[in-house]
Structure 1
C-alpha cells in the first residue's frame, strides 16, 4: 500500500508539474478573487481583517475542488483507472497517493494565497505554525471526501461534485475558518476546541475514504 501510494503521488505530482494546471488556471483565479475583495473593501482595514479567514477558506475550497477534479480526471482518461483495477493495484495505496498529491499542491497554493492576503489586506499572519497545521488537516479532510465523491460522480455532470462536496465538508471548512480567525487574532485558547473538531472530522473522513475507495473503484 505504501509503495503504491508513493508511486501514485509521484506520478500525479509529475503530471501536474508538466501540465502546470495549478499555476496556469487555479492560481490566477485565486489572485483575481483576493484582488477583487481588496479593492471592494478599499480603506476598510477592519472589515478586511474580519473577512480574511472566511475568504481564505472559500477560495481554498474552490481551488481544492479544481485540484480534486483534475486528479481523478487523470485516471479517467483512456480508461487508465480500469486498467489499474484489473492489474490488482492496491486501491488504498491509490487513494492515499492521490490525497497526498492534492494536499501538497494545495499547501503550495495556500502559501501563496496567505502571503497575498497578508499583503493586500494588510493582515499580519500571527501563529503561523497553527495556521499551517490547520490548513494541512483541513486539506486532508476535504481532499479525502472529494476524491471519493469524484469517483462516485465520474461520468456524470461535472457540476455535481461541488454540489455534493460542500455540504459534506462544511464542518471541516467551518472549523478551519474559526481556527484561522482565532489564530490571526492570537486567541489560542479559543482555537483549541475548533482545532479538536477539525482534527476529528478530518480523521473520520480519512479513515472512511480508505475503507470505501476500493468499493468506489469497483463500482
Structure 2
C-alpha cells in the first residue's frame, strides 16, 4: 500500500522542490543586489504574505480561478481517465506543486537575500569591484557561492517539511499519494500505517541533513570529513 503511494508523493515533492529552487534563487539574488528598492520591498511584502497565508486557502483559490472559472487546469487527480501522457501529468501537477512549494519559495528567497547581503559587505567583494570585475561575475563567482551554506541547511530540512505539507496538498487536489493515505490512517485510527508515515518523514529528515552535510564540502573546500 505504501509502496504504491510513495512514487506519486515523491513526484509531487520533487516538482515542488525544483519549482522552489528555480524561482527562489533569482528572486533572492534580485532582492539582494537591489537592496531597499521597490522590487526588494515588493518581494519582502510577498514573502510575508505567503508566510501568513493558509496553504489550504491558496489551494482552494487556485482551484476556483484556474480550474473552475477559467478551465485552464484540471481540478484534481493525477491523470485523466482517457490519457496517461506526460503532458497530462504536468497539467495535473502544476497547481499542487505550486501550492506545496510556495512556502519554500518565500523562505529560500529571504534566506538567500540575507546571506548575500552579509557577503556583499565583506572586504574581498569590495576589492573585486575595485579591480573592475563585472558585477554579474562578482555576484555569480564570489557572492552567491559563499552565501549558499545557510540556505543549503534550510533546503535539506525542507525535504521533511514538503512531505508533511503533502498531507494537506494531496487532500485538496485529490493526489493519490502518501499524504492522503496518512490522513485516512488518522481518521480510521490505523496506527501501524500512521507509524509507517512518521518513519518515512523521519527518514527524509535524516536524508536531508546528510545531503546538506555533503553539499557543505562541495561548496566550501575548507570543509573536510574524515
For Structure 1 versus Structure 2, the TM-score category normalised by the shorter chain is 0.3 to 0.5
Higher helix share: 1
Q: Give the TM-score of the pair, scaled to structure 2.
A: 0.36
Q: Give the TM-score of the pair, scaled to structure 1.
A: 0.37
